[in-house]
Amino acid sequence: MENYLSTLNTQQLEAVTTTEGFVRVIAGAGSGKTRALSHRFAYLVNELGIMPGSILCVTFTNKSANEMRQRIHNLTGDNDTGFISTFHGFCNTILLEESYAISYPKNFIVLDNADIDEMLRIIYEERNLTLRHMTFSKARDMIEIMKLAERPDYYLDLIHMSVQQLKEKYLRAHDPRDIIFYGYLYQEKKCFGLDYNDLIILTLHIFDEHEDIKQKWQEKLEYIMIDEFQDIDDLQYKLMKCLCGFHKNLFIVGDPDQTIYTWRGARIRYLIDFDNDFPNVRTIMMPKNYRSTPEILHAANSLIANNEQRIKKDLVPVKEHGPMVRCHEARTEAEEAQWVCEQIKALSKQGIEYRDIAILYRAHYITRSIEDVFIKEEMPYTIYSGIQFYARKEIKDTLSYLRMIVFKDDLSFIRTVNTPKRNIGERRMKFLKNYANENNITLYDTLKLHLEDELFRTTQAKQYVELIEQFAQEYEGRQVSEVLTAMLDQSGYEKMLRTEGSQERLDNLAELKQSILDYEISCGEEADLEHYLSHIALFTNADLEMKHNSVKLMTIHTAKGLEFDHVFLIGMNEGMFPTKKVSTLEAMEEERRLAFVAMTRAKKSLYLTEANGRNFDGSPKYPSRFILDIDPRYIEFTPPMSETLIDDARQYIEIHSRFLKLKNSMPEFKEGDLVEHPVFGKGTIIQTDPLNMIHTIHFDKLKTERKISYRAKLKKIGENSLSEIMN
């Protein structure tokens, strides 16, 4: 143990032994920052004699906290490892000791998303709300926004109002937002539950109101260390500033180039501008990378250099040379997947285990083509933090509708008859099942027999049967893609997803549509609905069992903090990565940081892939700007990209970039704003859609509302300048 410092490089040793004051460490990917943190803790304990209970070490996940705790135990030999936890975990520790200050019991409950959804379910039932008012996911987001921004003093109601008073406030509410928000506060108070935001907010409130408690904790924590500082949000930053206010020993580690959680509230500026908030900051750079080959790092450095919001640095390789970063351009997504499969087979023949290979992607829907090929080739794979494509609810629902047209089987019937809601609930389903069992007929035939019964008159059972019968009579001779599109429309299923705001599910449906178009092209005349259902059974019945030695499939966000010998980064096309949802320059830089994180997960080899062809909407596919951002000296193209394709892609990217720059300079419009259009005159914004960049506006002189693109020249009433979006 006495030689534990000898394993550190010069920069790591400097970080470990610089113990006093404010210290900022800029640690690149694979630079050994976890080693530096754990050794610094050990140095404080072993060499300076600091008590472990006087040290706070903050990580951003419980998994990281557990790993850090084990490392420190191995270095100190002490079971007391101080406070090693997440911000929320540490606040929970404080509240367990100080909850009396807010009249909360020590046995309060920390709520997770499942708990919150159960509370929302109660509220929706009590106040007759539906998912059309707001999905549970949107309700959770809305509650968080209201707590953090719109009603930041909400906690005073939570603390000072009785359960009965909160209940009355909830029952008096009329607006769905207020109903949900105050219903949630009432449910929280009733069970003495606190969510993650509450833990930090109430801790800060106690510190603000009770100087003695704040001072107790400030004096207790002689040294504070924070990992992944680029991910810190406003509340966490405020808490950190408060806790270090006495001893003024604060050590932070982070990498601006790995800030990929701004959508969760992370503020990159806190790391970049740390020296503006704290005096005499010592900044230590840790650029040495022990993870990746020089070839991988040259490509990653070249990519991230295109960002402006960063602290300039290059990762410095330590490992020996490896193969060039390879970029494959396929004609179709199916060929892209097949190429990936062939490369993995080649790696396997070299003795490389499947478990050492990872396929990373921007969004889950991208896995469809990969899964199709892997299932055919019997390639073992495991999806992490996601569900196999054909096991996703919206895909199973949609395929069940297609099966109903042809087979009218019970399983498909159960999935579709009340999706969307047709008032055919448990009681009516129980009747159908009992009758079908007694008479040995299908559930669908049972429903047809009882359409005129009193039991089904208040339902939409008749419309459902008419829908199935219509398609059953008309599907022969029609293209599968045509049948699918019509069914999704006429059944109301796609409208239901749009109403719920389920963008990920809509993306998956779009991918299913694309897969059917690919199927039709490959099968030619055989491409009818019955043949397709037989074809797709191969995938829907695939073995979904987790395999120990299998290729890992995961999103880039899931891969953050992990490393793999061999990495395939797939779906590198404009609109896929970067995602089509990007609407600001800041968001585009975050996408580029996400690509940088993905590339730096690779230790020995890195493969980038993209596919030509057309998107489902008919628009051409272009290679991602992140491929073109990399100096071509650092990439081996297989085959070489045509100059025409590169020129077309750059032209598209230039137009899109110009659009983002102009959009960045325009004033923000919100619902209710009075605006003036150069042709339509004055009007009121009814709805904004940032994703599709559309305003819905009711103009005074027009009878109907108009959907107006962000490209239009609009002026806020009372403002002098027009917002111009592209000429």
Phi, psi (degrees; rounded to nearest 5) at 351 = 90, 10
Tokens standing for residue 439: 């008479």
Let me know if 228 is a catalytic residue.
yes
SS3 per-residue string spanning 107-171: CCEECCHHHHHHHHHHHHHHCCCCCCCCCHHHHHHHHHHHHHHHCCCHHHHHHHCCHHHHHHHHH
Catalytic residue among 12, 24, 33, 507: 33
Identify which of 142, 138, 141, 136 has the alpha carbon closest to the alpha carbon of residue 119. 136
| Pairing mode, strands 223-226 and 109-110 | unpaired
Catalytic residue among 188, 228, 335, 591: 228
Identify which of 629, 646, 631, 625 has the alpha carbon closest to the alpha carbon of residue 580. 625
Are 602 and 566 in contact by the 8 Å Cβ rule? The answer is: yes
- Asked if residue 578 has a cis previous peptide bond (ω within 30° of 0), the answer is yes
Paired strand residues for 225? 57, 251
Catalytic residue among 601, 604, 621, 663: 601
**DSSP assignment, residue 153?**
T
Tokens standing for residue 514: 């694309």
Let me know if 33 is a catalytic residue.
yes
Q: Which residues contact 100 (CB under 8 A, 6 or more apart)?
A: none
Let me know if 34 is a catalytic residue.
yes
Identify which of 708, 690, 713, 689 has the alpha carbon closest to the alpha carbon of residue 698. 708
* Gap between the Cα atoms of 160 and 725, Å rounded: 49
* Gap between the Cα atoms of 243 and 225, Å rounded: 11
Q: Return the sign of the alpha-carbon dihedral for residues 98, 100, 103, 104.
A: positive
Q: Where are the beta strands (DSSP E) in 403-540?
A: none
Let me know if 499 is a catalytic residue.
no
* Gap between the Cα atoms of 635 and 323, Å rounded: 10
What single letter denotes the amino acid at residue 514?
A: Q
Tokens standing for residue 362: 């921007």
Half-sphere exposure of 510 (CA within 13 A, CB side): 18
Block residue for tokens 């009785």: 162
Catalytic residue among 17, 18, 19, 34: 34
Let me know if 503 is a catalytic residue.
no
Tokens standing for residue 506: 């809509």
SS3 per-residue string spanning 537-590: HHHHCCCCCCCCCCEEEEEHHHHCCCCEEEEEECCCECEECCECCCCCHHHHHH
Are 264 and 196 in contact by the 8 Å Cβ rule? The answer is: no
Tokens standing for residue 66: 């557990």
**DSSP assignment, residue 643?**
H
Mind giving me the DSSP string for 661-717? Answer: HHHHHSPPP-TT-EEEETTTEEEEEEEEETTTTEEEEEETT-SS-EEEETTS-BEET
Catalytic residue among 11, 187, 203, 258: 258
* Gap between the Cα atoms of 250 and 243, Å rounded: 9
Are 11 and 24 in contact by the 8 Å Cβ rule? The answer is: no
Catalytic residue among 198, 227, 233, 335: 227
Identify which of 621, 663, 672, 617 has the alpha carbon closest to the alpha carbon of residue 645. 621
* Gap between the Cα atoms of 333 and 515, Å rounded: 9
Question: Active-site positions?
Answer: 33-34, 227-228, 258, 601
